[in-house]
Structure formats: C-alpha cells, structure tokens
Amino acid sequence: MRQFRFSPALPKTPAFTPGDGLILLGIVTLLYAGARLAFNAPSIIAGPDISLSPLALPWYALFSIGRMVAAYLLSLLFSLFYGYAAARNRTARTVLMPLLDVLQSVPILSFLPVVLLSFTVILPENFAAELAAIVLIFTSQAWNMTFSFYQSMTTIPNELREAAAIYRFSSWLRFSTLELPFAAIGLLWNSMMSWSGGWFFLMAAEIFRVGARDFRLPGLGSYLQTAANEANLPAIVMGIASLVLVIVLLDQFVWRPLIAWADKFKVEMAESGEPPASWFFDILSRSWLVEQFRLRIWQPFRKWIEGVPGNRLREKVSVPKAVPRSGRSSWTRIVFAGIFAIAMLYGAYRTAVLLLTLPALAWSQLGIGLAATFARVTVSLLIAMLWTIPVGVLIGTNRRFAKLLQPIVQIVAAIPATALFPVLLLALLQTAYGLNISAIALMLMGAQWYLLFNVIAGAAAIPQDLRHTTDLLRLSSWDRWRTLTLPAVFPYIVTGAITASGGAWNASIVAEYVEFGRQTYATTGVGALIAQATGRGDHALLLAATLALAAVVVFINRVFWLRLYRLAEDRYRME
C-alpha cells in the first residue's frame, strides 16, 4: 500500500549562499546594462490609437491570443528544460533553483521598462514592443510551471525510479514514460493558471507608458485599459464579455480535452469511478484524421526520437573514452571567467554609483514602503489560503462539483483583476482605509489563483485506492484530512504559495498606484514607488526599488519557503 514517507528533521538551511550573491550580482549587472540602454531610447514615442468600437474586438482578441500562445510555448519549453536540469543534476540545482528564486522575485512591471526601452534601442519600435509584451507575459507564466514540474520531478515514488533503472531506460525514455507523465496533471493545471496570470498582465503589456514614451499595442488588454481610463462602462462590459467568450472557448476546446486526456497519468491502483469527460475529446478520439496523424506521423516520429538518445547512450556506455585536459581550453575558461567577473564587478560599481544619487528621504520611503507592502502581501496570502485549500480539494476530489465549479473558476481567474479594480476602487474609496483595502483585494485577486490551481492539481492526483482505503477504515472527516488529504496536497500548497506570494508582490505595482477617470490614487508601498518612478522616468529610484523588492522576496524564499519545499520533498512523498 502507498504511504507518505516521514523522515527526520531537516538540517538548517542558510538564508543566503555564495551562489545567491553571484546570482544577485549578475541580475544587478543586467538591470544596470538595461537601464543604461534605456537612457539612449527615443524621448517621445507615440503609440497607435486604440479603438473602442465593438467591431475591433475580434481582431484585438486574435492579437492577444497570439501573444499569449507565443509566451506559453516559450514558458513550457523553459519549464521542461529548466525543471529537468534542476531536478536531475545536483550541481546544476545549486545554481538553477536560487536563480529561479531571484527571477520570480523580480517585479515584472518594474522590469518591463528596462526591457522595453533596451529593445527600442537595438530593434524596430513595433517589433520591440511586441517582443517586450511576449517577454512580460512569459515571465508571468513560466515560474509557477517550472516550480510545479520541478516539484513533480523530485517527488516521484522511489519504486518507479527503481523500475526505470532496472529496465535500463535511456534518459529520453525515462523522461517520456515516467517523469513527464507523472508531472502531467500538475503541469496542466499550472498551465491553466499561467494563462490566467497571463491575462492579468496582458493589460499592462499592451498599454505601457514610460514618461512621454507610449508603447500601446492593439489587443484585448489595451481595449479594457483604455475603456477603464476613459470610464466607458459599455466598452468595459463589451471587453469583459469578449474576454469571457474567449476563455469559455479555450475551456471547451483546449483545457477540458487536456484534463480528460491527462487523467490516464494518475498513479493509482483503482480506477476512478467518474473520470473527467469532454465532448470535444470524445469527438477527437473517434476522428479518422487524428488516427491517421497518430499512426503515420506521430508514432514514427516518436520511435525515431526515442531511438536517437538510446543509441547515443549505448555508444557512450560501451565505448568510454578518457578526455585529456587541454591547457588551452583551461586557459580559455579562465579568460572568460575573468571577463565575466570584471563585467559583473563593473556593473555592480556603476549600479552603486547610480544608487548613491538617491537622497536619504528616498531610501527611508523605500524602507517604509517595503514594510507596508509586506504586510499587505501577508494578509492577502493568508486570506487566499483560508478559502483556496478547502475549495481546491473539493474541486479536485469531487467530479460533480468539478463539473460545476471548474469552468466558473477558470473564467473568474482569467478575467484581469485590473479591469474590475476601478469599480472596486470607487466603491471602497468612500470607506475608511479604502485604498489599503482595495490594494489588498487586488493583490488577493492576483495571487489566490496560483494557490487554488495547485491545490486542485494536488487533490486530483490523490490515488483512488487511497481514498477507498480511508472509506474502508471509516475515518472521520478530520482524520481523512489529517492523514491523507493535507499530506497529499502539501507539496502543491508550497508550490502555489511561493508563486502566489510572488504574484502578490508583482500586483502591488498596480494595486498601490491607480489611474482611473484621469485621476491618480496612491498609497504607501514599494509598488507605488515603482509605478511613480516608471511614470517619471526616474531610473535610479526604479532600480533601487526593484532590487530592494527582489532582495526581500529572495530572503523570504530562502528563509521560509525553501525549508517547506524540502520538507515536502523529503517527508510528504507517496511511496
């Protein structure tokens, strides 16, 4: 029978390591290089006019979906390669996981001005804006998918690993028949979450301004943002209706068929009595064209791709060769390492010079802003946990509730909170602490879905035979939660909480500084400072706030979340 393996207490993990310092130094250098390029960007850029006509909505929807698809494909490839390397190679893990912590902690909306202005220096304006929008959406999609795939790779039951080793699977065969199928359910639900997160940041990506520079792009995001800025309620309603229609179509033609298909990868000894179903998946499974594609194209391609790595592996194992160490290659590595170190040190020095131009008042405001935003992030994360864990378990374990709630959750999660935020803001401004409450509400709307979708994935992956066992033992509801449900979903809760906290920190930039009806509303927080620095083109303050926010998030991840991640890997693994 499967069980959850419990291990002794974990050793203490240092908050920061030398590798973290090198990674942060490299990020500082890249941000400074981008900022220096931004100084040379054109001073005035006029964006295209965004039409609020209903006839423009179909074209805007196609443009937005195209950017989302491009960003998702990049995110999927990045997650598979990055998560595989981090999980399979202990040496690579010591660099890649701290680097992932840093990357997901960099606030997306403060990083975009540097990326966008840098691209405009070396690329045509329109192409630079499109590429920057895809990069922004990519950074809102990739991290939770990568964390999910890495978490699945590190929690594969040992008996499955031993079986793959006994049968001498090649690297590709082990990946395609064990590792990827085991991670499929979590990766699928996080893909749905990535699309929802992508819609959230699409509005910021498609209508972005840095001082007098206007980088608007035609799309649903720019349509909704323009309608909100002009307080055009009919246009807001039409834009949201179009977005909901797109989400419903994606749910019926993409996500539901994938959920029905991925159910076969669940690790269980007893078949579920009510597996997920999809009418479109049933049609595709009986399609003659799909069958011919599978027989004539997909299967030959899969055999070819499986054969190549296996042959290479056999050649590598059967004919081992000692590779002599070349003095020239070692000198080359030393030279490149020296150039890299000099570049990082120079970038750090120039960054320090730029940051020293900030007055003491700006640093004190930054410290107060970090404390205020941290408090809002903590409150929003606690509220999210209170409702997402029980609701996520209910959706993941009860098919009847899943059929009813899953489409509703997908639609609500995919509606950009920034489109509804002006209405919420106007309602709360009349109350005491209205802007603070609305900021927490927007952070909650930007973070809670990461938790919910991960909890759904964890609950859906609980083997049916374990549920039957709890029924046979006649465990009470609390004992079932304590001994099965919570231990099973704990790794997914940790993954969702890490990405949710990052989403809340990112959402602070649009939650603490709002423009609506040609009026500006701001509260104390690091997000408001980043938004103000972006609007004024204050690169020194923007760089300081970005680095400070990233350092705080990395510190929290290393001190708190990393210990929980290792606890999930070592103690709550099904064996």
Whether pLDDT at 507 is above 70: yes
Q: How far apart are the first and last CA of the chain?
A: 8
Residue for token pair 């250098």: 29
pLDDT the model gives residue 69? 92
Q: What SS3 state is found at 314? A: helix
- 419 and 236 Cβ atoms separated by less than 8 Å: yes
Whether pLDDT at 560 is above 50: yes
- Tokens found for residue 455: 């909890």
pLDDT the model gives residue 80? 92
| Mean pLDDT (the chain, rounded) | 76
| Residues 416-433, mean pLDDT to the nearest whole number | 64
Whether pLDDT at 57 is above 80: yes
User: Which has the minimum average pLDDT: 171-175, 336-340, 352-356?
Assistant: 336-340
Between CA 410 and CA 412 the distance in angstroms is 6
pLDDT tens, position by position, 76-132: 999 999 989 888 887 777 777 777 766 776 666 656 666 666 676 677 777 777 887
- 24 and 543 Cβ atoms separated by less than 8 Å: no
Instruction: For residue 315, give every residue at least 6 positions away whose Cβ sits within 8 Å of its Cβ, in sequence order, or none.
Output: none
DSSP bridge partners of 520: 515
Q: What SS3 state is found at 207? A: strand
Between CA 299 and CA 286 the distance in angstroms is 17
Cα torsion angle, 566, 568, 572, 574, sign: negative
Geometric angle at alpha carbon 107, from 104 and 109, rounded to 5°: 130
Categorize the per-residue pLDDT at 545 as very low, low, confident or very high, splitting at 50, 70 and 90: confident
pLDDT the model gives residue 575? 60
Residue 226 vs residues 72, 206, 230, 547: alpha-carbon distances, Å: 25, 10, 6, 30
User: Which has the minimum average pLDDT: 228-232, 320-324, 331-335, 562-566?
Assistant: 320-324
User: Which has the minimum average pLDDT: 331-340, 385-394, 543-552?
Assistant: 331-340
pLDDT the model gives residue 117? 66
Decide: residue 435, CB within 10 A, 0-12 exposed, 13-18 middle, 19+ buried.
buried
Closest by alpha carbon to 422, among 141, 562, 273, 227?
Answer: 227
Decide: residue 198, CB within 10 A, 0-12 exposed, 13-18 middle, 19+ buried.
buried
Percentage of the residues of the chain whose pLDDT score is greater than 90: 7
| Residues 361-390, mean pLDDT to the nearest whole number | 91
Residue 383 vs residues 107, 296, 393: alpha-carbon distances, Å: 22, 52, 16
pLDDT the model gives residue 380? 92
pLDDT the model gives residue 6? 39
571 C-beta neighbours (distance < 10 Å), count: 17
pLDDT tens, position by position, 321-335: 444 444 555 677 677
pLDDT tens, position by position, 126-145: 777 788 788 888 887 888 88
- Tokens found for residue 474: 């006649």
DSSP bridge partners of 207: 216
- 503 and 450 Cβ atoms separated by less than 8 Å: yes
- 53 and 216 Cβ atoms separated by less than 8 Å: no
Between CA 228 and CA 207 the distance in angstroms is 12
Categorize the per-residue pLDDT at 386 as very low, low, confident or very high, splitting at 50, 70 and 90: very high
| Residues 544-548, mean pLDDT to the nearest whole number | 84
Between CA 386 and CA 380 the distance in angstroms is 10
Q: What SS3 state is found at 215? A: strand
